[in-house]
Amino acid sequence: MSVAELELGVTKLTRPQIARRAAELIPDGSFVNLGIGIPTLAANVMPAGKDVVLHSENGILGVGPTPPEAERDRDLINASKDYVTLLPGGSYCVHSDAFAMIRGGHLDLALLGAFEVAGNGDLANWTTGDRRFPPGVGGAMDLAVGAKAIWVLTDHTTKKGEPKIVNACRYPLTAKGVVKRIFTDLALIDLTEDGLLVREMVPGLTIDALQAVTEPKLTLAEDWQELAAA
Amino acid sequence: MSVAELELGVTKLTRPQIARRAAELIPDGSFVNLGIGIPTLAANVMPAGKDVVLHSENGILGVGPTPPEAERDRDLINASKDYVTLLPGGSYCVHSDAFAMIRGGHLDLALLGAFEVAGNGDLANWTTGDRRFPPGVGGAMDLAVGAKAIWVLTDHTTKKGEPKIVNACRYPLTAKGVVKRIFTDLALIDLTEDGLLVREMVPGLTIDALQAVTEPKLTLAEDWQELAAA
Amino acid sequence: MPIDKITPSVAEAVQGVKDGMTIMISGFGFAGVPNDLIHGVLDSGAKNLTVISNNAGTGTEGLAALIGSGRVTRIICSYPRSKGSDLFDARYAAGEIELELVPQGTLSERMRAAGAGIGGFFTPTGAGTELAAGKETRMIDGREYVLEAPLRADIALVQAQEADRWGNLVYRKAARNFGPVMAMAADLTVVQVKRIVALGEMDPEAVVTPGIFVDRVVHIDNNREWDI
Amino acid sequence: MPIDKITPSVAEAVQGVKDGMTIMISGFGFAGVPNDLIHGVLDSGAKNLTVISNNAGTGTEGLAALIGSGRVTRIICSYPRSKGSDLFDARYAAGEIELELVPQGTLSERMRAAGAGIGGFFTPTGAGTELAAGKETRMIDGREYVLEAPLRADIALVQAQEADRWGNLVYRKAARNFGPVMAMAADLTVVQVKRIVALGEMDPEAVVTPGIFVDRVVHIDNNREWDI
């Protein structure tokens, strides 16, 4: 089955929908960092009543959703340089303190974007090595080794349809063996000791079709569910 | 000349007078830490109009003089655990930040007490090695290596009349070669490349009498002055 | 479910303290000492404790009482001896308590290192002295540095001024001292505060310890003057 | 003589900047960037500069203008490429600017180390990656750590919200970011603020950067929206 056919066959999640599914699964009471890209969208789609404290590495704890345009504040942006708000109970801190939270193991979870994730949990998300596109590591290496768990939120394939979940990263690594769960526009996959376990797939997708755009061997969980767009 | 005779012959400075003389010589605009003992007295005898910012290692910048008894605040004490006040412009900080100021070389000056000072600037002020008196290093080692200059404020001799300014410290060192100036109840002495230079002596004291209670060779400065009690 | 770290009693706040644990205790002199929590530990009966604190207690209550009880077998501090530290002094003279003396700035920097994920750091403090004996040293830019390790604890007992239900803290004046670094450096951080405020009531620019570093908060509204 | 760090003009505030210097520039994205001071450096004509900043400038003004001028030969940062970083991107692609890419937490921790007298520290960040290539590593408790060196500068340019004549600073929201650590890590710290307050007007509990870390303050009361 070609990528083109796959694209015809199913409705992929949008970027906010990927973020929403991850947001739904964040345990209540967690302290969570949202990385640049799809992850920062999670702040806007947090399920009502979920008491999660969002951390932004530029020095915010308790990040709230995007403000209306009239209430934008140039001093209140997140790591993606998008306008955000502060929730009651939120606070500002010095940059090095924001990273003490990360590096000291105080974050329960970080949601990160990826160029590639390998089956063993290796993550590559800071450089393609192409000099026309300067590298940008930002806080990715700090988050990757510092947060108690790493979830990756990403499109399942590159724009050219090539797998982003690979046997071994071709791009330079951000960190080794850190990714525990991947949310894509097609599936929710856990990286377990027994390999990649598919927990959820978008309606209409088959495990074979998903395997066709994924390098490492996938196993479908017995209790797998449909990945429903919220 | 015995110590007893010396004591008969001159009027020694009191502890606040030692502190006052040091305070007078602190350059305007300096950031200064006052160590436990005689140094903390300097906060009470700062010359009027001198704009010096006093640092206390427990987390205060801008320490003011001792408050009247009715205004004592158990949350506002200095490193000697004495009640102090905060001057306008003063601020509180986390302990590790107070020591970042010290260890990062941001203090112009630290005034410290001493058990012994050697002619080469070695300082001993944290333990006598006697198990009946537990050692207490406090911030002394941090200040000794961190402040841009170290002045010692001390009685010239022990209670038994033995020299505290010695050829080589007998007590364990706080730091090597750090002391630049010594204020005692008898004299003001600079530690120079050419040895110990006596800048000031209390009225009536002779250099020979001072030498008799000081181990390293003293040189009297050509422009020496009387050490006047303020 | 809303995050709520407010704990109803001292006994519940210190629940989990066990024999052999390492406990950080905030305070410098008599400012910022969590005396109610210390007495909670005393009441728990836990023994064979290691205490990390700047001082070793004075008077008859608080840390002095804990040390006097014989439950503390080791203390890591910078300045154990003070006016009134008789209970410590006696145990020390008798060889009944082990003392690890740490330069004061190294003490809090080691806590910060533990809290910030630093595996070790080089400091010039203590170089060439007895307190650096046996430690790795290195010449950096012509100056001697000592390698110091992070310092963590099982539990940190902290005193602060105000907290909200997320565990955000502000302190008061020089009572701030070791609280913020200890809160970062322990597996379980327990805080006693004089006042509980509603979420959002604290100035977000002035929060000193954000709730991420705090596990339990207990409100102590007595104004007891402890003999410390 | 009263301490007074208030400086009358940008030109006087950046006086002393020279060819070949290393300059820290606060800000994260467009928040907290000292654009007036950067243009002061641009106007000074100093060249062959090394800039330390989280980003590499966007748009046509501020850091982007300084980089576009060709006066910056080296940049130490964590995330140079952003939407609008064309001036940097072009110089980088052409090999006209040297880039030292540093993980973001390591960047500010290295500044703090410089400011706090730490000679070096071990961090797990970057271990086993290209960014740790050539660096000393060490296994600590079964985990690989990288030794990182302090990062200092000749001058730090910082943007803050308010200052008093002692140089005490408060920031505003996420514009705080790198200001406080850069202020600690430079030989000369120059700050542009939106408001000058009287000594004693700031809440002593809420001062973020105490004046000990600040050398010069300049009041910028325009509300110019820079193209950055």
Number of cross-chain residue pairs from A and D with Cβ atoms under 8 Å apart: 144
Distance CA A185, CA A196 (A): 16
Q: How far apart are CA C153 and CA B24, in angstroms?
A: 45
**Does residue C186 sit at the A interface (CB-CB below 8 Å)?**
no
Contact residues on chain C for D116, CB-CB shorter than 8 A: 109
pLDDT over 90 at B120, yes or no: yes
Q: pLDDT by residue (tens digit) across D85-132? A: 999 999 999 999 999 999 999 999 999 999 999 999 999 999 999 999
Q: pLDDT averaged over chain D?
A: 97
Of B89, B99, B146, the CB nearest to D164: B89
Q: Is A148 helix (H, G, I), strand (E, B) or coil?
A: coil
Burial of residue B64 (CB within 10 Å: 0-12, 13-18, 19+) is middle
How far, in Å, CA of C113 to CA of C121, rounded? Answer: 8
Q: Where are the domains of chain C?
A: 12-219
Identity of the amino acid at D139 = M
Q: What is the pLDDT of residues C109-134, one digit of tens each?
A: 999 999 999 999 999 999 999 999 99
The verdict on pTM exceeding 0.95 is: yes
Closest alpha carbon to C24 in C221, C224, C213, C219: C213
Q: For residue A118, what are the domain limits?
A: 3-130+137-226
- Written as one string, the DSSP assignment of D142-196 is TEEEEEE----EEEEEEEEEEE-TT--EE--GGG-TTHHHHHHHEEEEEEEEEEE
- List residues of B with catalytic annotation: 57
Q: What's the gap in Å between the CA of B229 and the closest CA on chain D? A: 23
Domain count, chain B: 1
Q: Are D136 and A22 in contact (CB under 8 A)?
A: no
Give mean pLDDT, residues D196-205.
98
Q: What is the CATH number of domain D12-219?
A: 3.40.1080.10
Contact D113 C119 (CB under 8 A): no
From CA C135, how far away is CA C145, in angstroms rounded?
A: 10
**Strands of the sheet with A218-226, listed across from one edge:** A85-92, A60-64, A53-56, A31-34, A109-112, A150-153, A179-183, A187-192, A195-201, A218-226
- Write down the catalytic residue from A5, A7, A24, A57: A57
- What residues does D74 pair with on adjacent strands? D50, D98
Best CA proximity match to A224, nearest among A215, A214, A179, A205: A205
Phi, psi of D191 (to 5 degrees): -125, 130
H or E element at residue B24: helix B15-25
**ipTM of the complex as predicted:** 0.96
- Specify whether the CB–CB gap between C9 and C218 falls below 8 A: yes
Q: Which of C81, C127, C171 sits opposite B133 (nearest CB)?
A: C81
DSSP symbols for D4-25: --EES-HHHHTTT--TT-EEEE
D interface test, pick of C111, C121, C170 with most D CB neighbours within 10 Å: C121
Question: Closest Cα partner for A100 from A157, A35, A55?
Answer: A55
The whole-angstrom separation of Cα A117 and Cα D126 is 17
Measure the N-to-C terminal CA separation of chain D; round to a whole number of Å. 40
The CA distance from A177 to D3, in Å, is 54
Count Cβ neighbours within 10 Å for each residue of B143-167 and write b for 16 or more, e otherwise. Answer: bbbbbebbbbbbbbbeeeeebbbbe
Q: List the one residue out of D5, D31, D25 whose CA is nearest residue D172.
A: D31
Would you state the pLDDT for residue B1? 45
CATH of residue A78's domain is 3.40.1080.10
Active site residue A57: yes
Residue in C120, C203, C204 closest to D121 by CB:
C120
Q: What percent of chain A has pLDDT over 70?
A: 97
Over residues B17-34, mean pLDDT: 96
Tokens found for residue A189:
């996959």
User: What pLDDT score does A1 carry?
Assistant: 45
Which tens digits make up the pLDDT trace of B148-202?
999 999 999 999 999 999 999 999 999 999 999 999 999 999 999 999 999 999 9
Q: Could you tell me what percent of chain C has a pLDDT over 70?
A: 100
